[in-house]
Amino acid sequence: MSASTNKQLVTDYLNALSGQPKTPQLIARFVSDPELLKHIQDAEAGFPAYDLIPEQIIAEGDLVAVRAVFRGVHRSTFAGIEATGKLVSAGLIIIYRIAEGRIAEHWMQFDTLSLLGQLKPAAETAAA
């Protein structure tokens, strides 16, 4: 597949999943990477129907890089933190490797510290 085809696949993937329940059937249309499947399930459990908002998408060969913002409402336990109901956001960069028309592998850098800081109660944040 060409870089432009791969870029379109990732764009379609982001559009289909962002703000929607991430059902196994929907994810399977785009993803074959078992680690990414697990990551999506974990994030979806804590932040149902979260958004992944792309700011930049760059493709070369079988690789597609995305600079994006994760945004969701914390509705269930995540990283040991009980649901807060807070709307949170954090930046990320993810590189997808495309094979056979699906995401076969990924590498991600996510601003987890920022996300967890937004979930902590104000008293904990002030004491830190």
Which residue did the predictor score with more confidence, 20 or 125? 20
> In this structure, is residue 124 part of a structural domain?
no
Looking at residue 31, its pLDDT comes to 97
Q: Is the pLDDT of residue 122 over 90?
A: no
Domain containing 115 equals: 3-119
Model confidence over 71-118: pLDDT tens digits?
A: 999 999 998 999 999 999 999 999 999 999 999 999 999 999 999 999
Helices (H) and strands (E) in the chain, counts: 5, 4
CA distance 122 to 56: 33
Looking at residue 1, its pLDDT comes to 79
> In this structure, is residue 127 part of a structural domain?
no
> In this structure, is residue 104 part of a structural domain?
yes
Looking at residue 125, its pLDDT comes to 47
> In this structure, is residue 65 part of a structural domain?
yes
> In this structure, is residue 89 part of a structural domain?
yes
User: Who contacts 77 (Cβ-Cβ below 8 Å, separation ≥6)?
Assistant: 46, 83
Looking at residue 126, its pLDDT comes to 46
Q: How confident is the model at residue 120 (pLDDT cuts 50, 70, 90)?
A: confident
Model confidence over 8-54: pLDDT tens digits?
A: 999 999 999 999 999 999 999 999 999 999 999 999 999 999 999 99
How many distinct structural domains can be found in the chain? 1
Q: Is the pTM above the cut of 0.85?
A: yes
DSSP letter for 83, please. Answer: P
Distance spanning both ends of the chain, measured CA to CA:
49
CA angle, residues 14, 89, 114, in degrees to nearest 5: 125
CATH number at residue 92: 3.10.450.50
> In this structure, is residue 42 part of a structural domain?
yes
